[in-house]
Amino acid sequence: MPFDLLIRNATVVDGTGAPRFGADIGVRGGRVEAVGALAKEEADAEIDASGLVAAPGFIDAHTHDDRLMLSAPDMAPKVSQGVTTVIAGNCGVSLAPAPRGMPRPVTPPIDLLDVEGGWFRFRTFADYVAALREQPAATNCALLVGHSMLRVQTMADLEQPASPAEIAQMRALVDEALEAGAIGVSTGLYYEPARAAPTEEVIEVCRPLSARRGLYCTHMRDEGDRVMEALEETFRIGRELGVPVVVSHHKVVGTPNYGRSAETLPLIERAMRSQRIGLDCYPYCASSTILTFDRTLTSAKTLVTWSQQHPEFSGMDLTAIAQQMGVGVREAVERLVPAGAIYFSMDEKDVQRILGFEHTMIGSDGLPHDAAPHPRLWGTFPRVLGHYARDANLFSLETAVHKMTGLTARTFGLADRGVLKPGYAADITLFDAGTIDAAATFENSIQPARGIAAVLVNGTPVWRDGRSTGERPGKVLRRG
């Protein structure tokens, strides 16, 4: 019986970190069926991968694609860089559940998903999962439910710790989400809607994770002066619940903290001996989130990525905007919000040390609805493979691929993903290791990457020759 698809003459980098080898790849029924010398085999379709690397499709460990999967299901920013699975619902922000609907104006940073608010239409998490199954996206996804979203949906006053009754309501919503297919809970304890939540609230809200084998992902309370305390809080939550934790977009921000990844990584490594800890990182020394005046104070330079009041300033430097308005920076921020920004607030050496850390996964943290987004949205994975692995020689190609495939699948418990071998799902990315890199820049960030030849999701091509195929074979994945 012929294969559905035969990829011939590929250089396989299989996602485990093992050295590359030459092979053909036979795909049938959405799975990899054979990897080896298949010259005599036949197939309904063929791709000649001479000169190309075949890797497992990349898993984006950290996204805000909750709504993009429904509003732009081709997922061009992701499939164009070889991503075949996205982890959504991060930083305490998820599109569902919205039993109360969404009060306007939408509370920042939940407004990163939709500033108008009309997309917060799923009363239960199960309704959201059903919508993704009925109208699949081009990529697979695994979903987190956001603690800040739960707070907005259940609490009278976000500036207080949750009452026992509010905790019980949030816990019931977590249980419903996990039952419906969520793989865990995310928090954004740094952000205003969750800042008042004590550690004990988080633990009590997340209780269902223990019985349902979920995981806890966090945008920690502090990534600056108090980053060590924030790591300890994260580890405590994981220990008390007996669940794996993921430290989202690990970084140390603000000039006084430059170099402190030399403290955080050993702390993480030590804690990993007694509990399960993962972390992800994006390959840039600028962050991006909502615009607030406070955050500009620790940033060498601030670019505005969107503004509801003044969309014409998207992409511009905040200082230049303030000058043009003829006001100070604080006043300019007040006129622009709700808005988003890019903050240049990290040290390149820290970024490299964190990326190079053995246990670090790659996650984009891309913000797909920004008018002038951070280039990480379109460039993260090719930049790691090109700029950091090939050009800067931070690690081997095999290690780079492992950080975006096998390691990520293992951390999130995605059983049949992240490795290119028989029996696994046929999520496959073909790329040119000599030319791959991000094309997106801070000046011009909406750009498909260079060097991606073809991308398959569950055996179906979703990106070919520089464009989306229009196919949408994505599945909602659960923890295996």
Residue 220 touches Cu ion, criterion: CB under 5 A: no
Q: Are 334 and 252 in contact (CB under 8 A)?
A: no
- Indicate whether 20 belongs to the interface with Zn ion (CB under 5 A): no
Q: Give the nearest distance from C-beta 395 to Cu ion in angstroms.
A: 24
As beta bridge partners, residue 25 has 7, 35
Q: Which of 20, 78, 219, 260 binds Zn ion (CB under 5 A)?
A: 219
**Based on CB atoms, which residue is closest to Cu ion, 91 or 197?**
91
- DSSP-derived secondary structure for 305-333: EEESS-GGGTTSBHHHHHHHHTS-HHHHH
Does 91 engage in binding with Zn ion (CB under 5 A)? yes
* Minimum distance from residue 137 beta carbon to Cu ion (Å): 19
Contact status, residue 237 vs residue 276, Cβ threshold 8 Å? no
Which of Cu ion, Zn ion, none binds 13 (CB below 5-8 Å, type-dependent)? none
User: What pairing do the DSSP bridges indicate for beta strands 339-343 and 302-307?
Assistant: antiparallel
Under rule CB under 5 A, residue 49 binds Cu ion: no
CB of 244 to Cu ion, least distance (A): 18
Q: Cα separation of 167 and 193, whole Å?
A: 15
For 364, half-sphere exposure in the C-beta direction (CA atoms, 13 angstrom radius) is 32
Answer yes or no whether residue 341 interacts with Zn ion by CB under 5 A.
no
90 binds Cu ion per the rule CB under 5 A: yes
End-to-end CA separation in angstroms for the chain: 30
Q: Would you count residue 365 as binding Cu ion (CB under 5 A)?
A: yes
Stretch that binds Zn ion, among 84-92, 97-105, 301-309, 415-423 (CB under 5 A): 84-92
The nearer residue to Cu ion, 90 or 234, going by C-beta atoms, is 90
Determine if the peptide bond prior to 109 is cis (ω within 30°): yes
Minimum Å distance from CB 233 to Zn ion? 16
Q: Which does 298 bind (CB under 5 to 8 A by kind): Zn ion, Cu ion, none?
A: none
Task: Select 112 or 476, whichever has its Cβ closest to Zn ion.
Answer: 112
Distance separating alpha carbons of residues 476 and 469, to the nearest angstrom: 20
**Phi and psi for 246 in degrees, rounded to 5?**
-125, 125
Cβ proximity of 344 and 353 under 8 Å: no
Q: How many helices (H) and strands (E) does the chain have?
A: 17, 20
- For Zn ion (CB under 5 A), the number of binding residues is 2
CA–CA gap between residue 141 and residue 94 (Å, rounded): 13
Q: Where are the beta strands (DSSP E) in 245-357?
A: 245-247, 277-281, 287-290, 302-307, 339-343
| Residue (43 or 91) nearer to Zn ion, CB | 91
Decide: is 250 part of the binding site for Zn ion (CB under 5 A).
no
* Closest approach of Zn ion to the CB of residue 458, in Å: 29
Residue 91 makes contact with Cu ion by CB under 5 A: yes
- Contact window for Cu ion (CB under 5 A) among 30-38, 152-160, 173-181, 358-366: 358-366
Task: From 377, 363, 389, select the one nearest 444 (Cα to Cα).
Answer: 377
Instruction: CB nearer to Zn ion: give 180 or 220.
Output: 220
Helix orientation angle between 164-180 and 125-134, rounded to the nearest 10 degrees: 20
CB of 148 to Zn ion, least distance (A): 11
Least CB distance to Cu ion at residue 340 (A): 12
CB 112 to Zn ion: min, Å: 9
- Under the binding rule (CB under 5 A), the answer on residue 94 touching Cu ion is no
Angstrom CA distances, 331 to 275, 292, 326, 334, 344, stand at 46, 11, 10, 5, 20
Instruction: Supply the minimum distance, in Å, between the C-beta of residue 195 and Cu ion.
Output: 16
Binding of Zn ion at residue 479 (CB under 5 A)? Answer: no
Can you give the binding site for Zn ion, defined by CB under 5 A?
A: 91, 219
Can you give the binding site for Cu ion, defined by CB under 5 A?
A: 90-91, 365
